[in-house]
Structure 1
């Protein structure tokens, strides 16, 4: 099974995916952003726009996730913001054609919550030092929040008042999964959050 964890920037997709991975032995995290960064690095800076607009990104995501689904014994966890309806339908349809079973979850949060979360990230402060009034992720909040309200993006999980453990356990419960690995304590939780965040800083 492939579990796509969608949501606006700041919704907690990556942290959720890696915490599910920690608590589900045999699972695997597959991040489609890595394909996009690879495409960008092969292009001159003037051509580096939203990689989701490139057909080769969408086709490579389908092919690579289908490969991962075939070789991974446990669930494949995919943290990725995907709110353009045409692209969502194209990728989900392609995975269906490849006979990949997909469950989709959208982590929803209010714009105020998303802005507060984004301001705890290193990218926010790097942007402030560079003189930007808001980061690229902040500029996408309204677009993402509005799009993800659509029934197309069900199942929805409201994360405004739900911590990481609660989100992880709600997804597991919806899927009928038994989490054999227990929650982390407060210190371990913070260390894990920092570790995942640092590993996902891209320049």
Structure 2
């Protein structure tokens, strides 16, 4: 089974994916973003646009996930924002055509909620404390620019199942996905502090500087 976790940039996809992986023995995360940034780095800076526009990215994601699903015994988790209907068909749709059990979920939240999460991820929370809550989101400016577009497109029925997360924690969102996918997660025995520290580590690990 493939769990494709969609949603706006900063919407909690990666944190939710790691929460599921932590509590679901045998599951692995195969992040399509890694392939995208690798391809992007191959290009001269002036040609570095949206890597999803590269057919090689879409084809490579399908090839790698197809292999992982065929050879790995456990659940495969792919946290990745996709808002283009055509690109969605070329990735999620094609994997389904190949016979794989693909469960797609879109994490949604109000604009203010996503902006707050963008400020708090990685080092953002420290920056907010030092520079003030209205400090610009410089590293995440692209994510902010794409936010309205993402929220509008991802509400479309083609991107269901929709999960609104404004009032939900990451562990609770992971629980909801597991129930809908027919999976059983190990109980969440972490306290709030330990959960927050682990989420900060995940956020820092996924900071992009390019």
TM range (shorter): over 0.9
Query: 1:66-105 to 2 correspondence within 5 Å?
Result: 66-105=66-105
Q: 1:42 to 1:130 in 2, by over 3 A?
A: farther
Query: Helix, strand or coil for the counterpart of 1:100?
Result: coil
Q: Which runs of 5+ in 1 are unaligned?
A: none
Q: 1:123 to 1:53 in 2, by over 3 A?
A: farther
- Following the alignment from structure 2 to structure 1, what is the Cα–Cα distance between the partners of residues 137 and 14? 27
- Following the alignment from structure 2 to structure 1, what is the Cα–Cα distance between the partners of residues 93 and 180? 22
Residues 119 and 137, structure 2, Cα contact 8 Å, conserved in 1: no
Residue 50 of structure 1, CA deviation: 0.3
Partner of residue 146, structure 1:
152
Partner of residue 174, structure 1:
180
TM-score in terms of structure 1 length: 0.92
Residue 130 of structure 1, CA deviation: 9.1
Query: Helix, strand or coil for the counterpart of 2:46?
Result: helix
Query: 1:192-203 to 2 correspondence within 5 Å?
Result: 192-203=198-209
Runs of 4+ displaced beyond 6 Å: 128-131
Q: Which runs of 5+ in 2 are unaligned?
A: 129-133
Deviates more, 1:129-138 or 1:51-60: 129-138
Residue 97 of structure 1, CA deviation: 3.0
Partner of residue 61, structure 1:
61
Residues 106 and 160, structure 2, Cα contact 8 Å, conserved in 1: yes
Listed one character per residue, the Cα deviations across residues 107-165 of structure 1 (whole Å, up to 9, x for unaligned) are: 01011111111111347659x99995971101111000000111101111010111111
TM-score in terms of structure 2 length: 0.89
- Following the alignment from structure 2 to structure 1, what is the Cα–Cα distance between the partners of residues 140 and 203? 20
- Following the alignment from structure 1 to structure 2, what is the Cα–Cα distance between the partners of residues 130 and 163? 25
Deviates more, 1:167-176 or 1:18-27: 167-176
Q: 1:101 to 1:38 in 2, by over 3 A?
A: same
Q: Give the alignment's Cα RMSD to 1 decimal.
A: 2.2
Residues 5 and 77, structure 2, Cα contact 8 Å, conserved in 1: yes
**Alignment length (residue pairs):** 202
Deviates more, 1:161-170 or 1:90-99: 90-99
- Following the alignment from structure 1 to structure 2, what is the Cα–Cα distance between the partners of residues 95 and 181? 30
